[in-house]
Amino acid sequence: MTDKAARIEKPIKYPWWYGGAGGIFACVVTHPLDLAKVRLQTAPSPKPTLLDMIRRILQQEGPRGLYAGLSASVLRQCTYTTARFGCYDIIKENLIPVSETNNSFYLLPCSMLSGAIGGLVGNPADVVNIRMQNDSAHEAHLRRGYKNAIDGLNNIIKEEGFHKLFTGLGPNLVRGILMTASQVVSYDVFKYQLTTRFGMDPVEKKTHFSASLLAGLVATTVCSPADVIKTRIMNAQQHHESAMKVLLQSVKNEGVLFMFRGWLPSFARLGPNTILIFLAVEQLRKYRIGMRD
Q: Would you say residue 99 lies in a domain?
A: yes
The domain that contains 177 carries what CATH number? 1.50.40.10
Q: What is the pLDDT of residues 178-192, one digit of tens each?
A: 999 999 999 999 999
In angstroms and rounded to an integer, the radius of gyration of the C-alpha atoms of the chain is 20
Supply the pLDDT for residue 56. 93
Supply the pLDDT for residue 2. 47
Asked whether residue 246 carries a pLDDT value surpassing 90, the answer given is no
Q: Would you say residue 2 lies in a domain?
A: no
Supply the pLDDT for residue 164. 94
Instruction: State the Cα–Cα distance between residues 152 and 169, nearest whole angstrom.
Output: 18
Q: Render the burial of 16-47: b for 16+ CB within 10 Å, e for the rest.
A: bbbbbbbbbbbbeebbbbbbbbbbbbbbeeee
Supply the pLDDT for residue 12. 83
Instruction: State the Cα–Cα distance between residues 257 and 34, nearest whole angstrom.
Output: 20
pLDDT band, very low/low/confident/very high, at 272 (cuts 50, 70, 90): very high
| Averaged confidence pLDDT in the chain | 88
Q: What is the pLDDT of residues 71-116, one digit of tens each?
A: 999 999 999 999 999 999 999 988 998 888 889 999 999 999 999 9
Average pLDDT over residues 44-56: 86
Q: Would you say residue 30 lies in a domain?
A: yes
Q: Would you say residue 197 lies in a domain?
A: yes
Q: Full-prediction pTM beyond 0.95?
A: no
Supply the pLDDT for residue 34. 86
pLDDT band, very low/low/confident/very high, at 237 (cuts 50, 70, 90): low
* Cα 260 from chain centroid (whole Å): 16
Q: How many domains does the chain contain in total?
A: 1
Instruction: State the Cα–Cα distance between residues 9 and 3, nearest whole angstrom.
Output: 10
Q: Are 271 and 34 in contact (CB under 8 A)?
A: no
Average pLDDT over residues 65-74: 93
Q: Is the peptide bond before 46 cis (omega within 30 degrees of 0)?
A: yes
Asked whether residue 5 carries a pLDDT value surpassing 90, the answer given is no
Supply the pLDDT for residue 50. 84
Q: Would you say residue 241 lies in a domain?
A: yes
Q: Would you say residue 7 lies in a domain?
A: no
Supply the pLDDT for residue 1. 43
Average pLDDT over residues 256-279: 86
Supply the pLDDT for residue 250. 79
pLDDT band, very low/low/confident/very high, at 121 (cuts 50, 70, 90): very high
Q: Would you say residue 6 lies in a domain?
A: no
Supply the pLDDT for residue 238. 59
Report the sign of the C-alpha dihedral through residues 141, 146, 152, 155, in that order: negative
Look at the chain and count its residues.
Answer: 293
Instruction: State the Cα–Cα distance between residues 118 and 120, nearest whole angstrom.
Output: 5
Q: Would you say residue 46 lies in a domain?
A: yes
Q: Residue 87 belongs to what domain range?
A: 13-287
Asked whether residue 232 carries a pLDDT value surpassing 70, the answer given is yes
Average pLDDT over residues 142-160: 95
pLDDT band, very low/low/confident/very high, at 7 (cuts 50, 70, 90): very low
